[in-house]
A and B are shown apart, each in its own frame.
Chain A
């Protein structure tokens, strides 16, 4: 069975500081991967998706970027955090007829 490990579990960062969030997949080769952002109790906003190494498509512009350096790794980053980046970041994997989500990273920007 596939597993999704997200790191870190939570981050508290200052406005203007850099950020890097990660997601590692086990148990599925060449997965389609997604990054989602969720405001507290809010809807799931898809940010990026990737179908293969080195290829990432942006869905919505939020001053964030994403990279797929390895088949099993998906990274979300920015050089300068904004207050509006606070929220819950979720990595997801396309499975058979469904999406599987990681446990998420809670980001607080102060």
Chain B
């Protein structure tokens, strides 16, 4: 059973625009969230983790977690063509347990 659902499947934004990605956990035991980014032909790299309610900002990237609804979002402001990649949401029961990945959102940033 899929532990985490992501939307949309794909997203296209203009350069300089805002990209918004969504993720929901289907299991209330899984409340630790990560965002990973994978450029074509490379391994995924962790973008950020978020374990507490509210916002977490790292540069142009902001994650927002609502534990009551088990929903996390990722917002990328001033999107760049180099942000074009496959973005995975991942969840776990705690910060060091097995991690389950969503199906990913393919982001394309058009120059």
On whether the beta carbons of A103 and B99 are closer than 8 Å, the reply is: no
What's the nearest-Cβ distance from chain A to residue B92, in Å?
10
- Tell me, rounded to whole Å, the shortest Cβ–Cβ distance linking A70 to chain B: 21
Q: Contacting A101 at CB < 8 Å: which of B44, B96, B104? A: B44
Say yes or no: is A46 at the interface (Cβ < 8 Å to chain B).
yes
With a CB–CB cut-off of 8 A, which chain B residues contact A42?
103-104
- Evaluate contact between B104 and A43: CB separation under 8 angstroms: yes
Check A104 for interface membership: any CB of B closer than 8 A: yes
Counting contact residues on chain B (CB < 8 A from A), the size range is 20 to 34
Number of A-B contacts (CB under 8 A): 40
Does chain B have a CB within 8 A of A87? no
A35 within 8 A of B: no
Could you tell me which residues of chain A, from 5 to 38, have a CB within 8 Å of some CB in chain B? none
Q: Residue B101 contacts which of A43, A100, A104 (CB distance < 8 angstroms)?
A: A43
Q: Are A90 and B49 CB-contacts (below 8 A) given A43-B104, A97-B95, A98-B34?
A: no
Interface residues on A, range: 10 to 19
Interface of A, helix, strand, loop or mixed by DSSP: strand
Asked if A99 is at the interface of the complex by the 8 Å CB criterion, the answer is yes
What is the interface of chain B, defined by CB distance below 8 A to chain A?
34, 36, 41-46, 49, 86, 88, 90, 95-96, 98-99, 101-104, 106
Beyond A43-B103, A100-B46, 7 additional pairs, beta carbon < 8 A = A43-B88, A43-B102, A97-B95, A97-B96, A99-B36, A99-B90, A101-B45
Interface residues of A (CB under 8 A from B): 41-44, 46, 49, 90, 92, 94, 97-104, 106
**Can you show 26 pairs from A to B with CB atoms below 8 A apart?**
A41-B86, A41-B104, A41-B106, A42-B103, A42-B104, A43-B88, A43-B101, A43-B102, A43-B103, A43-B104, A44-B88, A44-B101, A46-B98, A49-B98, A90-B44, A92-B43, A94-B96, A97-B95, A99-B36, A99-B90, A101-B44, A101-B45, A102-B43, A104-B41, A104-B42, A106-B41
